[in-house]
Structure 1
Amino acid sequence: MEPHSQLPSSLSVDDNNVRMECYLRNSESVNHVFLNCDLASLIWGSLERQLNLVLVPVDDILLKLQGWWVHSSGNSALAALTRLLPTIVCWELWKARNKACFKDVVTTSTGLLHQITLQLHAVGHAFPFRCTSTGGATLRGQGLVPFLVYPRHRTIALSWSCPARPYVKLNIDGSSLGNPSDSGGGGLVRDDSGCFLCGFSSYYGWQTNMHAEASALLEGIQLCLSQGYGHVLVELDSLTLLNVVQGRSKCLWRIFPIVSAIQAKLERGVFRLQHCYRELNAAADALAKHASNMRTSSEYHAPTYLPDILGILQLDREHFPYIRTTRWISFSSP
């Protein structure tokens, strides 16, 4: 998909003969260079008409930038353009000013718009613009963006799997109601047939999600060691915490003592840590949410367990499929 090689005829200004000569005949100021000179006025006006932006006339460049950026919320192609274009316009106006002052080279409005479009295309190839509304295709047709990416959704079926002997499986999860807020952690251990062995639901007080996840992992490992389980497959749905514990990411100082304790206890047995999707961690999630909501802590041993997870345990043992929706993107044709 190649960017548009020619500036579309629709992307133009009313007077193609406006040049940067104004810099040589007027007293120079920031507002004059970037906003009030004939060339700058035509460029801003042309782009605002292209994007259908209705802005209050101002005489200060900072107010002009603010007027554009109030339209920049969201992840649509239009929002991305209103974030990018003011910076690119000012940069190209500054380059045109320097060419006029130091090289005696004049810049036409059409030439300046062409340079702005080329800059947008370079950004668009590195960070593609997303099409989230019908207006995105219009922007591509006008030549302001080289192409668009269209979000698509795909569904996959997942099922919880039993560990292979001699391993037991520990699923853990953390919960913080407001990040930070009341937090809790939950975990449960199951054998190679999916039968519940033991578990916990613990309240951790006012903490963040990451703190709750790390605390739950530490408590789950301690539970396995206290019950004499020497081979443990640990599943958690926090890829960030997994990378921290395994040394692939830096550790936040707030949870450094917890992570250090986790790493020390992992050396006391055969532990395999792996990431799992959130859909496959429903039982641990229910235990964690119970603790953070009820502000209580409990430990469970077979055959007793929290009634809230009875249905989840049965579904997991029968390898009932959980449906996960994933997002991917496809590119528009040039």
Structure 2
Amino acid sequence: MGFQLVSKCFCCALATGATLEHVFSAGQLALEVWAYFQNICGIGSSYDSLRAHLFDWWMSPTPRGKQRFVFDIVPVFICWNIWKARCRAVFEEAGVRVKEICEAVFQDVKSAFEVQFSLAAQGVKQIWCSIRMVVLRETRERGGGGLLRDSDGQLLVAFSAYLGKATSLRAEVLAMLKGVQLCLGKGFLPRIVQSDSMLLIDILQRRCLCPWSVRREVEQVWHLVEGVQFEHRYKEANKVADLLSNVGVSHPQELVRVYFTEHTLPSVARGECRLNRLGVPSVRRVRVGRA
């Protein structure tokens, strides 16, 4: 009748409009593909937009070399293979499956590796396993920290812990587990558990697969606080826990320190805790280079 309408989505059961954001980021198929590779490489995402996905991959603090190369090319291949699947669905009426898209991304990564690093032909799985081990085995001395507040923002209990050598994901899981155990041991039952690790929250919400290396600890958290609400908090809203985790690294001779009042908190976290209770927002300080 002369009206130009948005194309129907190819990846969802509902007749959703196939906008660029929906096809590449917000649609169910796109979400599952992104989550699959984010789980492998230990990257969290807010799922806000395609721009957010690309930013999470390209701005991640990874060293140079093969790992950096992977983080640069994977999001490109994800978008490219989602688009090819969309075209096959629209013009050839072909079925679309997440597994097939992921396998196509694996194949593209394999080909890019062979060209970039002059590698002999290897199985896609072998190459990806080696990539995954590089990413997940970045271990160093880690600390954990957390706190429990009541509905008025008053501190009930807090802790800092030395976690030894661990990956970032394992440190996040161990810190959450120690915090939950501490709360229950003191007679508190948390209703909302928050973390600034989007990957951990996705795992706890069962939105992505749990790596085998932290499966036991994640299952312990599920068991201890069954029915609790897991929420993501940005680092700006998680400053006290972040500071306490830094304190945890500094006392390897004492695995866990417990604090029951604001006055007994380490000095670096005391002021931030008071500002949180008063509702004063935190900002992330960044260093801007001069031209």
Structure 1 length-normalised TM: 0.42
Greater per-residue strand proportion: 1
Structure 2 length-normalised TM: 0.48
Structure ID, larger Rg: 1
Greater per-residue helix proportion: 2
